[in-house]
Amino acid sequence: MRARFKGVLDPIGAFLIRLGLTPNWVTLLGLVGIGVSAVFLARGQFFWGGVVVLIMAPLDALDGTMARLIGNPTRFGGVLDSVVDRFAEIILIGGLVFYYLQQNEWLPVFLGYAAAGGSLMVSYVKARAEAARFVVKGGLLTRVERFLVLIPLLILGQPLLALWILAVLGNFTALQRLWLVYQQSRKEEDLPKV
């Protein structure tokens, strides 16, 4: 997505740099915006929650763009970005869970729990596999796809459908990635020992 929208992101990133913002500050501003969205969701204002997420989502791409333009991407910035991404999804889903708790609707609460767990596991499988020197790319419902599901369904007032999709396909994606790692490990075992 960053490569496709480079012509749009680069000028915006350059403008933010001229304003004196750093990539890490943009990352944290995005998290604040997600927190605002979660407040809307917790109050049952799904349309406005979805609109705020739609506005905040590009910040996730801008921090990396800014780091590249400055010529100084840092390892800490990469870690901060990944950690904030996880917090953002938990906070968003937490807003929905809070709303459904107030309504005494337990199925959506369970789905929110499963969606948050799936989201974390998709990222964890990738991180753990890469630490073990496997290559993990793609999957059915990566972070971009999760937001492509969540944003329109919130705006359309269908948060329950969003939770179903995130819960089922998020956990499926974590297992899909684990299967990809298993397949790579089997190929390694078939190779002659050196």
Catalytic residue among 60, 63, 81, 85: 85
Would you call 85 a catalytic residue per the annotation? Answer: yes
CA nearest neighbour of 56 among 73, 75, 37, 40: 37
**What is the Cα–Cα distance from 134 to 92, expressed in whole angstroms?**
30
**What is the Cα–Cα distance from 40 to 154, expressed in whole angstroms?**
11
CB 26 within 8 A of CB 59: yes
Could you tell me where the DSSP H helices lie in the chain? 6-18, 23-42, 46-70, 75-102, 106-131, 143-155, 159-190
Assigned token pair, 72:
């100084």
CB 173 within 8 A of CB 115: no
**What is the Cα–Cα distance from 151 to 49, expressed in whole angstroms?**
9
Active site residues: 85
